[in-house]
């Protein structure tokens, strides 16, 4: 479909570092003053769904975002994926990071683009992931218990993650420091030709 963009899909459980990884890609690309780096944008599914919820005066909690995504999928399975595809096509940046990939329809968005990669971020320790989500305090998660996080991961929109993770082109463990993750970002940028 589109050969002029690189599309990177981020997959992983909530709190595994997908958005942090995407933001680091943008940060590294923006920091290059020699212009030998492609421009990067993050296309967040939560951002797209949050706009809809906010239009109706509904708080964009994780539960509400999941329910809206599920509702849209019941109307048309690929509805969210179509919105992401249109956003990617219309953005001026050369690299789009699709964050997160949750469904087979989301994965199929990647395959529409000639140059694409699926990156699977793995954090082995659930408590570490849950603490990250509490620390960022988004989506109503600041005071959630570990059991509440586990229950949220059983929501139907989260269930295809494990199946899709087997399709990953790159598996990146995220159990260490931010500096370690930054080094992984730079490696991927070189491999994909984002840094020229």
Helix (H) / strand (E) containing 171: strand 170-173
Residue count (the chain): 196
d(CA 145, CA 195): 41
d(CA 73, CA 68): 9
pLDDT at position 42, please? 95
Going from N- to C-terminal start, the domains of the chain cover: 2-183
pLDDT at position 2, please? 59
Token pair of 100 as six digits? 């997160």
Closest to 134 in 3D by CA, of 62, 182, 67: 62
HSE-up of residue 6 (Cα within 13 Å, Cβ side): 20
pLDDT at position 171, please? 93
Q: Is residue 69 predicted with pLDDT exceeding 60?
A: yes
Token pair of 122 as six digits? 């793995």
- Per-residue pLDDT of 104-162, as tens digits, reads 999 999 999 988 999 987 877 888 888 888 887 777 778 888 888 788 778 777 788 88
Q: Is residue 1 predicted with pLDDT exceeding 60?
A: no
- Per-residue pLDDT of 27-43, as tens digits, reads 988 887 666 788 999 99
> What is the domain class of 2-183 according to CATH?
alpha beta
Least confident range from 58-62, 96-100, 153-157: namely 153-157
Specify the pTM: 0.84
Q: 46 with 54: CB under 8 angstroms? A: no
- Per-residue pLDDT of 82-91, as tens digits, reads 999 999 999 9
Token pair of 149 as six digits? 């996080």
Please, what is the average pLDDT of the chain? Answer: 88
pLDDT at position 75, please? 92
């Amino acid at each position: 479909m589109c050969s002029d963009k690189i599309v990177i899909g981020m997959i992983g459980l909530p709190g595994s570092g997908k958005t942090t990884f995407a933001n680091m890609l943008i940060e590294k690309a923006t920091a290059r003053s020699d212009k030998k780096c492609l421009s990067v944008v993050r296309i967040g599914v939560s951002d797209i769904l949050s706009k809809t919820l906010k239009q109706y005066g509904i708080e964009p909690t994780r539960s509400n975002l999941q329910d809206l995504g599920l509702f849209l999928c019941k109307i048309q399975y690929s509805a969210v994926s179509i919105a992401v595809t249109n956003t990617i096509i219309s953005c001026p940046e050369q690299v789009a990071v699709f964050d997160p990939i949750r469904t087979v329809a989301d994965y199929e968005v990647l395959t529409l683009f000639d140059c694409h990669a699926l990156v699977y971020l793995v954090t082995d320790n659930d408590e570490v992931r849950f603490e990250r989500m509490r620390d960022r305090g988004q989506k109503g998660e600041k005071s959630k218990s570990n059991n509440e996080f586990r229950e949220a991961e059983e929501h139907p929109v989260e269930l295809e993650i494990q199946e899709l993770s087997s399709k990953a082109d790159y598996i990146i463990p995220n159990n260490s420091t931010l500096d370690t993750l930054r080094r992984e970002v730079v490696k991927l940028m070189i491999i994909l030709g984002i840094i020229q």
